[in-house]
């Protein structure tokens, strides 16, 4: 009797292949990563662009998951800018849009506001997603200039500096 079961099991393995019993491998995912050198280059360009206009700013860059990659505090930047830039960069990376676009989207009456569930998201101007093609690989933000539009222009100067390396 045991011999019959052993023969039957051997026949099943032989006919279906040994891999039929193994689990399928997990899927893999490939994506580009924002390097520290590239983040530093963008942050320095953003701070320099604001400094040239007389603004003392902080620039924060986060990775695709919203984790801080770099914070560059310009000379004379106010302490509050540390938290503001972190949240703007986080919002841009996680929502994959500028903080200005995010603000417009959630300000529409009846629109879904993910900020109700993620208290790190923030509104206002000054945060931009860092994209390699269509893939968002991080976020950059500036704060400390007199107005979000000026913060965003500085962050955009940082993006412009590294744009050729993001292709």
Mind spelling out the 3-state secondary structure of 92-130?
HHHHCCCHHHHHHHHHCCCCCCHHHCCCCCCCCCCEEEE
pLDDT of residue 65: 96
Please state the pTM of the whole predicted model.
0.82
Q: How far is the C-alpha of 87 from the C-alpha of 93, rounded, in Å? A: 10
Class of domain 36-165: alpha beta
Give just the sign of the alpha carbon dihedral 60, 61, 66, 69.
Answer: negative
What pLDDT digit, counting tens, does each position of 57-114 carry? 999 999 999 999 999 999 999 999 999 999 999 999 999 999 999 999 999 999 999 9
pLDDT of residue 3: 56
pLDDT of residue 17: 55
Task: Label residue 28 by pLDDT band (50, 70, 90).
Answer: confident
pLDDT of residue 88: 97
Q: Which residues contact 57 (CB under 8 A, 6 or more apart)?
A: 46, 47, 50, 51, 74, 77, 81, 142, 143, 144, 145, 151, 154
Percent of the chain whose pLDDT exceeds 90: 77
Q: Check pLDDT > 70 for residue 21.
A: no
């Amino acid at each position: 009797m045991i011999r019959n079961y052993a023969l039957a099991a051997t026949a099943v393995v032989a006919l279906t292949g040994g891999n039929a019993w193994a689990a399928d491998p997990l899927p893999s995912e490939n994506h580009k990563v924002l390097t520290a050198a590239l983040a530093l280059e963008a942050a320095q360009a953003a701070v320099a662009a604001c400094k040239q206009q007389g603004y003392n700013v902080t620039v924060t860059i986060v990775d695709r998951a919203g984790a801080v990659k770099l914070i560059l505090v310009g000379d004379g930047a106010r302490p509050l800018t540390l938290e503001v830039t972190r949240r703007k960069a986080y919002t841009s990376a996680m929502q994959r849009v500028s903080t200005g676009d995010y603000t417009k989207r959630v300000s529409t009456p009846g629109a879904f506001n993910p900020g109700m569930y993620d208290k790190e998201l923030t509104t206002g101007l000054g945060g931009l997603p860092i994209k390699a093609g269509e893939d968002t690989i991080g976020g950059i933000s500036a704060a400390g200039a007199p107005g979000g539009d000026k913060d965003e222009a500085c962050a955009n100067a940082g993006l412009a500096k590294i744009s050729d390396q993001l292709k």
